[in-house]
Structure 1
Amino acid sequence: MEHMEADVMTQKQILVVDDIPSNLHLLFRYLKRLDFKVLIAENGEHALKQLGYCHPDLILLDIMMPGVDGFEVCRRLKKNPATADIPVIFMSALTETIDKVTGFEVGGVDYLTKPLQYEEVLARINAHLSLNELRQTLTHKNAALRQQNKELQAFGHTVAHDLKTPVNGLLGSAEALRANLGENLTPRADKYLSFINQTSQKIRHIIDALLLLSESREAEVALTPLDMPSIIDSAIQRLETRINTFNVEITMGQNWPQAIGYAPWIEEVWVNYLSNAIMYGGMPPQLILDAVLDEPHGQVRFQISDNGLGVAPELQEKLFIPFSRIGSQRLPGHGLGLSIVQRIIERCGGNTGMHNRDKGGACFYFTLPSTSLSKG
């Protein structure tokens, strides 16, 4: 009989489990000749005992054995984190489909039917050793990437915190200089101080957005029932200057079904939605805030409608992508807002979206689980 040469790296270790000595002997000689390290076990209990002190690269496992059969051996291997990653190829004279299906259900990666064809045995071994080696390589790379990503997030969080102090210092210094100059403040100096103030405010908003993005990725928060009207009032107070500058008209709905979420994050969502509505609303912006209970899905839908031009269909898909913009702006923006909104709402168990209104303008919404669903 002509034999294929082993394709995989030599000195891979294989455990062969079979209760028939002649089968063990033939497989041992065949695999040993191909430079594999070969361990043998005469039954399931012997195999499990060996696996307590060795970690083979692959297991060839007979099914019909006295005592602990091959299916049970595989079940125990897959339940043990120390051996769960070892590929198991079943060997059996059982040819029924149900037996093959059972082999895959308990964690086997392949199934060889006896009598064995050694060229096929080697081909299956090579294939699964290569796949497992690739899987382990990807697992290690993913772990390294996760660690790098974690370190990068920690660095960004630290930098953002460190930047807040000098930015707040700029704002305070500009206000102090304006107050000290008093009547001596020239129009040109006033213009420069206003520019410092606006630019510093923009930088601070970006820093706050980056901190919120980092927090929404990593922080574990408790979701509790929300007092949504109070949360909206706080958001409106934070935007009081913009609201007064652009003569914004805000109409609040009367019905606010209770939902669960994390109040500080949800306030940021409203600040973002309100800011966008002011940017892209009509002249002056007319905003309607309300909520609807989506009882079949156990969600509350919160929405804000404006009287602007709406959003072109080809741009709607880009709205929640970081650093995307939807057109000319009345106020400076940084393109992070809606992507952060989406992340926050998903962390709270809801979703986000928008649509253009039939009567003009856009409607942006987010959903959160209702308290009735959480109690159920």
Structure 2
Amino acid sequence: MATITEKSTILVVDDNITNLNILLDYLNELSYKVLIAANGEQALQQLQHIHPDVILLDVMMPGIDGFETCLRLKANKETQDIPVIFMTALTDTVDKIRGFTVGGVDYITKPFQHEEVLARLKAHLTIRKLQQELQQKNDDLEQYADILAKKNTELATKNAELDEKNVQLNALNADKDLFFSIIAHDLRNPISALRELPQIIIENLESYSQDDLRRMISMQRDAAKNLFELLENLLTWSRIQRGMIEHEPQPINLKEIVDRNIALLAANAYSKKISVKNDITFPAIIYVDYKMMDTVLRNLLSNAIKFTGEDGNIEFTAIEQDQFIQVAIRDTGMGIGENYVPKLFRIDEQYRRTGTANERGTGLGLILCKEFVERNGGRIWVESEVGKGSTFRFTSPKFSKERAML
């Protein structure tokens, strides 16, 4: 391992050539690296480029003396920590005190005593080295503290995110548990009907009239239809939750897709003598996923028919709103109580009731509507009054070339 002497650089500042030579020869023999300057100005210039481990500084020099030179060294952030040992023939206590006041750490007197010079140099070089090591340790500690603080912050952020995810997961699991309990309950009724009605018919076949049989078979048909709708919506909802339904927006003529759904459910409306009108007159082109929009319109129209009595009316309208088109499906049906409206689109608080002809709902239709409308960048809501009907409204983005390029 290299010794302090072999590693140390000493700057000697003295205008006396004899003194310089004496110190230069002596310190070179001791393997110090020695730099020299003839006056204070020259020393300050050199210190702009080099940083010795210690400075031997003569007090009495032409130009700026040793005291002024030391003051300037200590005023510079780059050189203020370099220890300065004054070299002087002065023995006056006032001069020594002045040397310590301006920042000197020690002094040696002329003529030089080699042993004294070496002892003072080694002492201050050792102190300097220890100070540098301590400073490095402090710097390392501060850097480590910064890294630790950053890691703690990142960890706290990750923990907060994890806590939030756990809360969301627990809420989702609770919703799913409730949802599946509801589904299990809803499946029981149509399955029971499909299982029990045939047995009842078989056991009472001879005693049933044609009207009785027609009624029993109609009940079977309705149970099967309700079961099919429930399973279809359940599978669709399941695919949404697993991210298996791709969102592929395209320009769609709103009037045409509404007409298609009115035709599809015309028999349901006809059986209840309900008038269904499409009053969308302007060329409303929306930019949505076709299958999703088809599901939304079919569910909303099916609900409107289900909860509207005989001779009722259902009307589709649309208006333009900036970058969106707002669609409205208004019916003259049963209406919904104000306290039940917030439950319509929630999976954890489903609102159940039978239609005007005792039709049963699946409980999933409006939830699917909300999922699909929001997936396409819109929102859905309802306005309703008991006994006067309901108006379901939702927004869909207009088609534009700029939107299609996104």
Q: Which residue of 2 aligns with 1:320?
A: 345
Give the whole-Å Cα distance in 2 for the aligned partners of 1:358 and 1:204: 30
Contact 1:256 1:292 in 2 (8 A): no
Give the whole-Å Cα distance in 2 for the aligned partners of 1:204 and 1:312: 29
RMSD: 4.3
Q: Which residue of 2 aligns with 1:310?
A: 335
1:26 CA displacement: 5.4
Give the whole-Å Cα distance in 1 for the aligned partners of 2:154 and 2:247: 43
TM-score by length of 1: 0.54
Q: Which moved more, 1:264-273 or 1:185-194?
A: 185-194
1:320 CA displacement: 1.1
Counterpart mapping for 1:11-30 below 5 A: 21-23=133-135, 25=137
Equivalent position to 1:332, from 360, 364, 367: 360
Residue 234 of structure 2 is aligned to residue 210 of structure 1: yes
Amino acid at match of 2:214: D
Contact 1:257 1:300 in 2 (8 A): yes
Structure of larger gyration radius: 2
Residue 198 of structure 2 is aligned to residue 198 of structure 1: no
Q: Which residue of 2 aligns with 1:234?
A: 260
1:321 CA displacement: 1.5
Amino acid at match of 1:321: R
Amino acid at match of 2:137: H
Q: 1:221 to 1:346 in 2, by over 3 A?
A: same
Amino acid at match of 2:253: D
Q: 1:88 to 1:351 in 2, by over 3 A?
A: farther
Contact 1:224 1:260 in 2 (8 A): yes
Contact 1:357 1:363 in 2 (8 A): no
Equivalent position to 2:311, from 268, 284, 287: 284
Q: Which residue of 1 aligns with 2:273?
A: 247
1:315 CA displacement: 1.9
Amino acid at match of 1:317: P
Amino acid at match of 2:367: S
Match of 2:333, SS state, is coil
1:356 CA displacement: 3.5
Q: 1:140 to 1:233 in 2, by over 3 A?
A: closer
Gaps of 5+ in 1: 1-19, 32-39, 42-58, 62-86, 90-107, 110-124
Deviations 1:311-361 (A, max 9, x none): 322222222113622655221112111111001000011110122489943
Deviations 1:279-306 (A, max 9, x none): 2234322011111111x3x001111111
Q: Which residue of 2 aligns with 1:355?
A: 383
Give the whole-Å Cα distance in 2 for the aligned partners of 1:276 and 1:200: 18
Q: 1:265 to 1:375 in 2, by over 3 A?
A: closer
Count residues in correspondence: 246
Q: 1:185 to 1:252 in 2, by over 3 A?
A: same
1:187 CA displacement: 4.0
Q: Which residue of 2 aligns with 1:301?
A: 326
1:274 CA displacement: 1.0
Give the whole-Å Cα distance in 1 for the aligned partners of 2:306 and 2:326: 23
Residue 284 of structure 2 is aligned to residue 257 of structure 1: yes
1:205 CA displacement: 0.2
Give the whole-Å Cα distance in 2 for the aligned partners of 1:309 and 1:193: 28
Contact 1:206 1:334 in 2 (8 A): yes
Between the aligned residues of both structures, percent identity stands at 20
Q: 1:133 to 1:289 in 2, by over 3 A?
A: closer
Contact 1:315 1:326 in 2 (8 A): no
Give the whole-Å Cα distance in 1 for the aligned partners of 2:246 and 2:290: 14
Q: Which residue of 2 aligns with 1:223?
A: 249
Q: 1:259 to 1:248 in 2, by over 3 A?
A: same
Deviations 1:209-249 (A, max 9, x none): 11222333412221001122232233223323311110110
Contact 1:249 1:285 in 2 (8 A): yes
Q: 1:329 to 1:223 in 2, by over 3 A?
A: same
Q: Which residue of 2 aligns with 1:60?
A: 145
Q: 1:190 to 1:255 in 2, by over 3 A?
A: same
Amino acid at match of 1:200: A
Give the whole-Å Cα distance in 2 for the aligned partners of 1:257 and 1:137: 44
Q: 1:237 to 1:88 in 2, by over 3 A?
A: farther
Give the whole-Å Cα distance in 2 for the aligned partners of 1:371 and 1:271: 21
Match of 1:314, SS state, is coil
Contact 1:250 1:286 in 2 (8 A): yes
Match of 2:393, SS state, is strand
